[in-house]
Structure 1
């Protein structure tokens, strides 16, 4: 399903849904962050997705990282909560979703980066390699907060 990101756009369509979703900030032993290139918009992003019925939110983070990136992780903390009402995602089926995403910090357990239906590329990216990648500003914010590693999570 195609998606269009509207970020601080006064002409964006009005949202008609909010979905509990996660992103996952995980680093390898060299300090690189795991990123996927999304198949729905071509942008690079942290792995993540929507919570399913019957699962704890931390289970969502583990499942989505496995499904999208082929990597097993253990959730260790919280990077932040991202709920900017000026960031909506428009899908080609008519859904317009207001952003609501919990970004978890996780520890790499096992597995090698592997693509999926939702990821055309998966790789560990060094901090100095992020500038050359096409990453949405809201995702860059999460990645930046993940690298900072503050004691208190971001709430915004």
Structure 2
């Protein structure tokens, strides 16, 4: 199966809850300070499996998907990276619960990871597109956001 162009790769992400805090890793400055655990899908992997894998890799927390926060495909949100890669936002964001593990940095993509109380999220440095997804997850609407 041929790889899709980068422009169309979905980016799975999970907002993992426990106690009722969210696990949020800290990334390099280009992403803002805090993010939800995002990542890419590997060939042959489902979007849900990719989300679970990325949470484990970036935070040390094993998660279980329990619902859909939303699908985000804003054509106005285009990311251009220093290496020449250009992508349009295409994120599938899940609600997840923590099964085991405690947040920790991965020494590759994350500087740190911690449980964050939802009441503290407004004070964090978060990219606007990720903030929208995090706020949607905290709001726990009965229907997913699809944009």
Please give the TM-score of this superposition, normalised by the length of structure 1: 0.85
**CA offsets per residue over residues 55-83 of structure 1, 9 Å max, x none?**
11110011000001110000111000000
2:131 pairs with one of 132, 140, 151: 140
Name 1:37's counterpart in structure 2. 26
Task: State whether residues 40 and 118 of structure 1, in contact with CA within 8 Å, keep that contact through their aligned partners in structure 2.
Answer: no
Task: State whether residues 24 and 104 of structure 1, in contact with CA within 8 Å, keep that contact through their aligned partners in structure 2.
Answer: yes
Number of paired residues? 140
By percentage of residues, which structure has more strand? 1
Please give the TM-score of this superposition, normalised by the length of structure 2: 0.90
Shift, 1:40, TM fit: 5.9
Distance (Å, rounded) in 1 between the aligned partners of 2:114 and 2:133: 17
> Is 1:150–2:133 an aligned residue pair?
no
How large is the RMSD of aligned CA atoms in angstroms? Answer: 1.3
Distance (Å, rounded) in 1 between the aligned partners of 2:114 and 2:137: 17
Task: State whether residues 24 and 65 of structure 1, in contact with CA within 8 Å, keep that contact through their aligned partners in structure 2.
Answer: yes
Name 1:9's counterpart in structure 2. none
Runs of 4+ in 1 over 6 A off after TM superposition: none
1:77 pairs with one of 42, 67, 74: 67
